[in-house]
């Protein structure tokens, strides 16, 4: 599963790099004052293709974020809390030993467990990733619309 995530991240980085390269090329083209219709259409096509290529990543990160919503966080914390209060909480990655205690004390301890912190970190990662993908999609839409406006303005006025 980690290999799949790594491949996913590498492919996403390739898309981001392609976006940066296309954006830079487009800005250079515009700064030269060139308004070649075919070149503008080519850039528009590239931005549309990049946006379409982001769709599976948007879906993936939306699903992962949804799997880690507030309800899930509360559920995990509560299960950990109950296990600590009953004296049966074990985590191979967390060397801390929790003695049997009241549910109120266990709730405080549950927030500090490695398992819960890992869940919260993943939740933050997926939320941030989703936000970044949404921002990138908006940027791509901006460029598509800008090119559409340039095409309309430049070739209506000729």
Q: Are 14 and 22 in contact (CB under 8 A)?
A: no
Separation between Cα atoms, residue 7 and residue 26, nearest integer Å: 28
- In the structure, what pLDDT confidence band is assigned to residue 143 with cuts at 50, 70 and 90? very high
14: domain range? 2-156
How much is the pLDDT for 119? 93
Domain count of the fold of the chain: 1
For residue 92, pLDDT beyond 70? yes
B/e letters for 84-93, b = 16+ CB within 10 Å, e = fewer, are bbeeebeeee
- Confidence band (pLDDT; 50, 70, 90) for 2? low
Q: Alpha carbon of 122 to those of 11, 65, 126: distances in Å?
A: 20, 9, 6
The predicted pLDDT at position 156 comes to: 66
- Token pair listed for 121: 């970190």
Best CA proximity match to 27, nearest among 158, 109, 143, 139: 143
> Residue 113 in 3-state DSSP?
coil
Q: Are 46 and 23 in contact (CB under 8 A)?
A: no
């Amino acid at each position: 599963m980690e290999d799949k995530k790594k491949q996913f991240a590498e492919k996403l980085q390739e898309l981001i790099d392609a976006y940066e390269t296309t954006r830079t090329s487009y800005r250079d083209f515009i700064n030269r004052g060139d308004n070649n219709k075919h070149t503008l259409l080519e850039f528009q096509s590239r931005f549309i293709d990049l946006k379409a290529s982001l769709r599976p990543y948007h879906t993936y990160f939306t699903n992962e974020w949804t799997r880690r919503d507030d309800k899930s966080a509360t559920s995990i914390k509560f299960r950990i809390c109950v296990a600590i209060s009953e004296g049966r909480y074990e985590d191979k990655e967390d060397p801390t030993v929790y003695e049997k205690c009241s549910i109120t004390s266990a709730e405080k301890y549950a927030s500090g467990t490695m398992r819960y912190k890992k869940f919260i970190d993943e939740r933050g990662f997926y939320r941030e990733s989703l936000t970044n993908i949404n921002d990138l999609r908006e940027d791509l839409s901006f460029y598509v619309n800008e090119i559409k406006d340039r095409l309309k303005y430049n070739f209506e006025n000729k």
